């Protein structure tokens, strides 16, 4: 299939482009390079030895997208492009609503006008808010969260309504749990701007000596050791989940959790990182981070059954590849 990948040079996008190319799909990447590097395109080529096209373009650029679609006749769109920092979204809500919603709206409009009938959207387990784990796809969407999370929930609703009104458009909403790790080549991975918000990139920066120590946000949660529990998933497994979703030929609107179904605490992850990589990660327990929940992990039965996909990598693989 010929696929338009928005945000294809970002962390999850680049790993997905690699998996698409490895499976013989044709890929055109658009990315505005806000939080990614053009050199990533060459690295994707170095890994796969397969050509792909990169166009520097914003996913809100209606005219540009129309031209691109007329030129390429895509079979599907995988939409990754978006701002993703929770804290920044609280400080700059308009920037988040404008960009993340306008890109979804514009791409859906172009998909309908140009007869592209597969649309895969990057959603997040964040839409479940403080729901009870294991979370399945029927769990109610959270009431209110931060603007970043709202843009994910709103994009889901927009795409659902648009697909209902346009039966030729088939939408798959993929709810990611906590993607970590990197491609085995070491050529692509997560390169956060400034101080990392997420746990794994913070740990790797401490391991590299870029930061003195890790701050663990709370050890008084009702979990196995008091630290927060999450469902970490290797980014390569996550990328393969997109290819499975694309090839599954589902119609209408379908929602899938992409996780491992297993919860791991912050301390378990840090300890695994230290023992697998034989490196010390000094840490200090501090107070809870505002907005954090105790536990979040997926029920992954639906993706297993309907997409014939499941995560293969374990926590040891994740910390090694990170
Ligand atoms: C994991 C655990 C922290 C950093 C967030 C967003 C979500 C999604 C992914 C975005 C928690 C603890 C973290 C640190 C710590 N979206 N922690 N010290 O909070 O599950 O999800 O990122 O792209 O929308 O909410 O992931 O990696 O930030 O935290 O102790 O320096 O690690 O408290 O328990 P989270 P995370």
Could you report the per-residue pLDDT of 275-310, keeping only the tens digit for each? 999 999 999 999 999 889 999 999 999 999 999 999
Is pLDDT at 142 greater than 90 in this prediction? no
> How much of the chain exceeds pLDDT 90, in percent?
95
Question: Using a 6 Å cutoff on CB, does residue 124 contact ligand 1?
Answer: yes
Q: Which two tokens stand for residue 109?
A: 């409009």
- Is any ligand 1 atom within 6 A of the Cβ of residue 153? no
Residue 158 confidence (pLDDT): 98
CATH superfamily, domain 2-181+232-260+298-304, is: NAD(P)-binding Rossmann-like Domain (3.40.50.720)
In short, whether 283's Cβ falls inside 6 Å of ligand 1 is no
Q: Is the CB of 223 under 6 A from ligand 1?
A: no
Ramachandran class of 84: left when φ > 0, alpha when ψ lies in -120 to 50, beta otherwise: alpha
Indicate if ligand 1 lies below 6 Å from the C-beta of 199: yes
Question: Which atom of ligand 1 sits closest to the CA of residue 266?
Answer: 32
CA distance linking residue 11 with residue 182, whole number of Å: 9
What separation in Å is there between the alpha carbon of 292 and the centre of ligand 1?
8
Cβ of 145 below 6 Å from ligand 1: no
Query: Do residues 265 and 229 lie in contact, with contact meaning Cβ atoms separated by under 8 Å?
Result: yes
Active site residue 148: yes
Q: How far is the CA of 83 from the centre of ligand 1 (A)?
A: 16
- The whole-number average pLDDT for the span 28-46 is 97
The answer, yes or no, to whether residue 145 has pLDDT greater than 90, is no
d(CA 140, CA 85): 23
Q: Are 295 and 223 spatial neighbours (Cβ–Cβ below 8 Å)?
A: yes
User: What predicted TM-score, i.e. pTM, was given to this entire model?
Assistant: 0.98
Query: Around Cβ 301, how many Cβ atoms within 10 Å?
Result: 14
Tell the residue nearest (CA) to atom 14 of ligand 1.
199
Question: What's the CA dihedral at 38, 43, 44, 48 to 10 degrees?
Answer: 160
Tens digit of each residue's pLDDT (9 = 90 or more) over 60-80: 999 999 999 999 999 999 999
Instruction: Select from 141, 154, 175, 166 the least CA-distant residue to 252.
Output: 166
pLDDT score recorded for residue 144 = 74
Q: Which is the catalytic residue, given 83, 148, 221, 256?
A: 148
The two structure tokens encoding residue 187: 């050529």
| Protein residue closest via CA to atom 1 of ligand 1 | 199
Q: Please identify, by atom number, the ligand 1 atom nearest to the C-alpha of residue 230.
A: 20
Distance, CA of 102 to CA of 60 (rounded, Å): 6
Nearest ligand 1 atom to alpha carbon 200: 27
Residues in the chain: 322
């Amino acid at each position: 299939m010929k696929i338009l990948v928005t945000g294809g040079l970002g962390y999850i996008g680049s790993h997905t482009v690699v998996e698409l190319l490895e499976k013989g799909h044709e890929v055109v990447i658009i990315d505005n390079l806000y939080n990614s590097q053009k050199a990533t395109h060459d690295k994707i080529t170095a890994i796969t030895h397969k050509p792909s096209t990169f166009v520097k373009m914003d996913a809100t650029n209606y005219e540009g997208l129309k031209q691109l679609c007329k030129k390429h006749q895509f079979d599907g769109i995988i939409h990754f492009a978006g701002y993703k920092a929770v804290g920044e979204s609280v400080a700059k809500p308009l920037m988040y609503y404008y960009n993340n919603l306008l890109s979804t709206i514009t791409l859906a409009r172009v998909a309908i006008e140009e007869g592209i009938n597969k649309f895969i959207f990057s959603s997040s387990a964040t839409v479940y808010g403080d729901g009870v784990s294991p979370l399945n796809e029927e769990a109610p969407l959270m009431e209110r969260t931060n603007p970043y999370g709202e843009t994910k929930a709103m994009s889901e609703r927009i795409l659902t309504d648009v697909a209902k009104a346009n039966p030729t458009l088939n939408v798959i909403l993929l709810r990611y749990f906590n993607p970590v790790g990197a491609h085995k080549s070491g050529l692509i991975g997560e390169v956060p701007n400034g101080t990392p918000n997420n746990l794994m990139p913070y740990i790797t920066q401490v391991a590299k000596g870029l930061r003195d120590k890790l701050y663990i946000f709370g050890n008084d949660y009702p979990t196995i050791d008091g630290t927060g529990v999450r469902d970490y998933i290797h980014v390569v497994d996550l990328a393969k989940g997109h290819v499975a979703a694309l090839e599954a030929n589902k119609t209408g609107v379908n929602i899938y959790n992409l996780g491992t179904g297993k919860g791991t605490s912050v301390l378990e992850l840090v300890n695994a990182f230290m023992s697998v990589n034989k490196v010390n990660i000094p840490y200090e327990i501090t107070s809870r981070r505002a907005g954090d929940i105790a536990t979040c992990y997926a029920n992954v039965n639906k993706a297993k059954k309907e997409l014939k996909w499941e995560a293969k990598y374990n926590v040891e693989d994740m910390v090694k590849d990170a």
